[in-house]
Structure formats: C-alpha cells, structure tokens
Amino acid sequence: MEKWKDLLLRKLSCEKDLQTAYRLVLNFFNNQGFEYCAFAAYLGSPDKHTSKVNLNNYPYGWDRLYEQNGYASNDPLVAHCNQSPLPILWDETVFAQTPKLWRELNRQGLKYGWTQAVHDDQGAQCSLFSLARTHCPIDIEEHYANLGYAIFASQKLHALASKKLSDAVAVKQNYHLSPREIEVLRWSAEGKTASEVGRILCLSERTVNFHVCSCMRKLNVSNKISAVAKAAQIHVI
C-alpha cells in the first residue's frame, strides 16, 4: 500500500468526529480519481426515515432537487441498498424505470459511480455510501481495487453516524414536544408568521403563539428563532 494511503486510513480509523472523518474519506477518494463522495445514514429507510445524516460534495442544488422530486421513493440505488449490502454500479439499465432521475444525474455530472450500503444488526439504521465522477466509466478492475477502501470507509462513517443519530434521538425524546408543537415549529422554519401558521393549521393566532411559547420553554430558549434552530439541531424538524 502506498504510504499516503496507509497514513490517511490510520488517521481515519482513530477519528471520532463524523464531519472530520467524512473529509478524510473525501480526500482519500479524490486522490483515487473520484470527484464526488456521498454518505447518508438513516434511522428507518431512506424514503421513510425519522432522522438522517447527509454528507456529500455533490453539485450545489442537488440535495434540494432530490428532495423536492421525491426521488428517494423510487431511486433504484436506494431500493437495492435497502435489500443488499453488495455494491451497485450506476448505468442506464439500472435506471431504466426512472429515466428522469438518470438524466438529472448526468446533467449534474454524476454520471459514473457506485453505491453500497451498510446495515446494522438490528435493521434500524441503513447507510448509503457513493462515489462518482463526471468522466471515465468505472471498469471491474478499478471497482475491485477500490472496493476494500470503500467498505472500510463506509463502515467507519456508519459507526460514527449511528452514534450521532442515537444521541439525537435521545435528546429529542428528552424534550417531549407534542406533534402540534412540532408542526408549528416546522411551518415557522419555513418563514411563516403566527397568523399564516394559524391559517394553515386551522388555529387561532393566539393558539399558535401559545404553542411557540411552550416550545421555547421546553427547549430552554428565549425566542422563536432560537426554538426553530434548536429543533432543527436535535432533528425534531
């Protein structure tokens, strides 16, 4: 093994911070000829998750486009990874039933790549790890030359993400926000005023403000903006 690979992988194996570990992985695979690296971890399934971690250097706007179009519900990569830890190479035949998604990937430069999954023993958490680039198809020889590194990297990121998601769930449970309070915060995060939230949820403005104050008290913050920020931080919204 080349010395730089050995040093970087040793550093990755000792890393405790998820963001730093991701940057090490990104640097490693950039040097292996991959422009893009993505890691996503979910409690639940990717299309019906309760909490998630999402780290990637995909082109600006891709994450929003993917969410807005609901691609997770029919993404063949997600469907494969829900069922199998084996890697899947991207090509047109894989996306035969979702040509729009394939066109969008190509338009963004996410043309050649592969995805693999990591599943925990209980089946509650799934992680997806992807490598991609704009040019040069990935042949079998290159794929297998990098597969061991990818498995090691994805399992390390999965372990760190698992801890982060578990901690976030524990924090979330400690605050005991009601479903209605969460709804109010979610619409507030969209920039809606109390009056607008009231119309959306068929509540009076006074009731909306009551829920906001209740959220502030439970989250131990002093204003609505801080309540929204903290709710996002602990993955309530």
Annotate 127-145 with b (16+ C-beta within 10 A) or e (fewer): bbbbbbbeeeebeeeeeee
**Cα(134)–Cα(132) distance, integer angstroms:** 7
pLDDT exceeds cutoff 90 at 26:
yes
Place 92 in a pLDDT band, splitting at 50, 70 and 90: very high
Residue, of 111 and 49, whose pLDDT is higher: 111
Please give the pLDDT value at position 48: 59
pLDDT reported for residue 47: 57
Task: Determine the Cα–Cα distance for residues 24 and 80; give it in Å rounded to an integer.
Answer: 27
Q: How far apart are the C-alpha atoms of 104 and 66, rounded to whole Å?
A: 9
Q: Considering the chain, what is the average pLDDT of its residues?
A: 90
Q: Cα dist. 192→177, 224, 226 in Å?
A: 19, 12, 15
Task: Please compute the mean of the pLDDT values over residues 166-189 and round it to a whole number.
Answer: 79
Region 200-214: mean pLDDT is 94
Closest CA to 128 of 80, 58, 188: 80
pTM of the model: 0.71
- pLDDT band for position 235 (cuts 50, 70, 90): confident
- Please give the structure tokens belonging to residue 103: 């066109």
Spell out the domains of the chain, with CATH numbers in brackets: 3-167 (3.30.450.80), 176-233 (1.10.10.10)
The mean-pLDDT minimum among 17-31, 45-59, 141-155, 194-208 falls in 45-59
Question: Of 222, 34, 192, whose CA–CA distance to 115 is shortest?
Answer: 34
Query: Chain centroid to CA 85: how far?
Result: 17
